Amino acid sequence: MKEKKPKSGFAKKFSKKLNRKGFIGPIGDDLPSLIPLTFALVIFFGAFAFAFNAFDQKKIDFDQKFALLRIGQTLKGDNLIENYEKWNALCHNVEVRNFKYRAVVFKIPVNTGQYQDYQFFKEQQGHDPCNNSNLGTNCQPPLFDYGSPSKPQVLICQNNSDELTQKNAPSYNLLRINFPVAINDNGVIRPALLAVAVWR
């Protein structure tokens, strides 16, 4: 028969502590409480990170919307574009840093019942220009030009010359707005549309 070895001082004290009810050690004693504590922290910081990302993303969206409205309002001015110089001056007043933009002015037909919106994506642009003899549904409205074929002064204002394609459309997150404007075409005031697109 094996004889029990008498316990040392420390072991005696520890054994005494262990025998106390509910006590499972300095960490072990709090182990059950650590589980909800950890979950709580994970949930809180997870929600915090999600909210932070959401705020950040929405801020970018707001900035893009603001930029869109600001560009539109700057370029339309008093809604009358009298000449190319005025358009140019308005274009130089546009200050947008973090986004790419393109703004164009195109004529709209009156009394024909036909309307073609200007398409920014290359694939959606019609092959032929819309004019008096071509009112088809698959034409591209030509941009208003104050110049001549040799020296065009097209009403376009942009901070890049990227070609927008539908293939890459999701990455652009393109926003678009139209404003009616009147343009002075050799003394005749015509209705036209100012189309502004802003993308990332």
State the residues that interact with other proteins by CB under 8 A.
Answer: 21-24, 29-30, 32-37, 39-41, 43-44, 46-48, 50-51, 54-55, 58, 61-62, 65, 69, 72-73, 76, 78-80, 108-115, 117, 132-135, 177-182, 187-191, 193
* DSSP per-residue string spanning the chain: -PPPPPP-HHHHHHHHHHTSTT---TTGGGHHHHHHHHHHHHHHHHHHHHHHHHHHHHHHHHHHHHHHHHHHHHHHTTSEE-SHHHHHHHHHT----SSEEEEEEEE--SSS--------SGGGS-SEE-BTTB--TTEEPPBPBSS-SSS--B-EEES--PPP-GGGHHHH--EEEEEEEEEEETTEEEEEEEEEEEE-
Q: How far is the CB of 112 from other proteins (least distance, A)?
A: 6
Indicate the residue among 156 and 176 with the shorter CB distance to other proteins. 176
CB of 110 to other proteins, least distance (A): 4
Least Cβ distance, residue 152 to other proteins (angstroms) = 20
Cβ distance to other proteins smaller for residue 157 or 193: 193
Tell me how far, at minimum, the Cβ of 125 lies from other proteins, in Å: 17
Based on CB atoms, which residue is closest to other proteins, 37 or 167?
A: 37
Return the number of the residue (40 or 162) whose C-beta is nearest other proteins.
40
